[in-house]
């Protein structure tokens, strides 16, 4: 694995986001479409490949950790504007979403 410098890490903007809407993407076996509130930064659409482990109703009105400044990517005819962070085991049998351990406002930066 390549090492990065602290300057490289400083370029990454990780934020708390509150999922305000989650919808299974019917054309995909992996994707859930999320509408995420980032507080003063506004809302974004983010697609997450977590359908095998989570249902949309498990995600709504909850805070998760997102990579905020990822270059947008076209997915399913729309634009995904970030990435939901998760831990996945080597066999891809388990996926765990990263969540703040206390209530904190949407848009808060993670250091």
Print the domain residue range for 82.
Answer: 13-106
Note whether residue 2 is domain-resident: no
Q: What is the mean pLDDT of residues 5-24?
A: 96
Is the model's pLDDT at 51 over the cut of 80? Answer: yes
Note whether residue 91 is domain-resident: yes
pLDDT per residue as tens digits for the range 61-106: 999 999 999 999 999 899 999 999 999 888 878 899 999 999 999 9
Cβ atoms 81, 46 nearer than 8 A = yes
Note whether residue 6 is domain-resident: no
Domain count within the chain: 1
Note whether residue 72 is domain-resident: yes
Distance CA 68, CA 3 (A): 22
Note whether residue 8 is domain-resident: no
Note whether residue 7 is domain-resident: no
Q: Is the dihedral of CA 41, 107, 53, 96 positive or negative?
A: positive
- The predicted pLDDT at position 6 comes to 94
Q: Identify the CATH number of the domain in which residue 71 sits.
A: 2.40.50.140
pTM over 0.85: yes
Both ends of the chain: CA-CA distance in Å? 22
Structure tokens at 11: 């370029």
- The predicted pLDDT at position 38 comes to 98
Note whether residue 102 is domain-resident: yes
Is the model's pLDDT at 110 over the cut of 80? Answer: yes
């Amino acid at each position: 694995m390549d090492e990065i410098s602290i300057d490289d890490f400083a370029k990454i903007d990780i934020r708390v986001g509150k999922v305000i809407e989650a919808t299974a993407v019917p054309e995909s076996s992996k994707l859930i479409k999320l509408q995420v509130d980032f507080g003063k930064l506004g809302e974004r659409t983010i697609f997450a490949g977590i359908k095998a482990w989570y249902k949309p109703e498990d995600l709504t009105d909850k805070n998760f950790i997102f990579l905020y400044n990822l270059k947008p990517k076209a997915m399913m005819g729309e634009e995904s504007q970030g990435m939901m962070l998760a831990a996945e085991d080597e066999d891809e049998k388990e996926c765990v979403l990263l969540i703040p351990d206390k209530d904190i406002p949407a848009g808060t930066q993670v250091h």
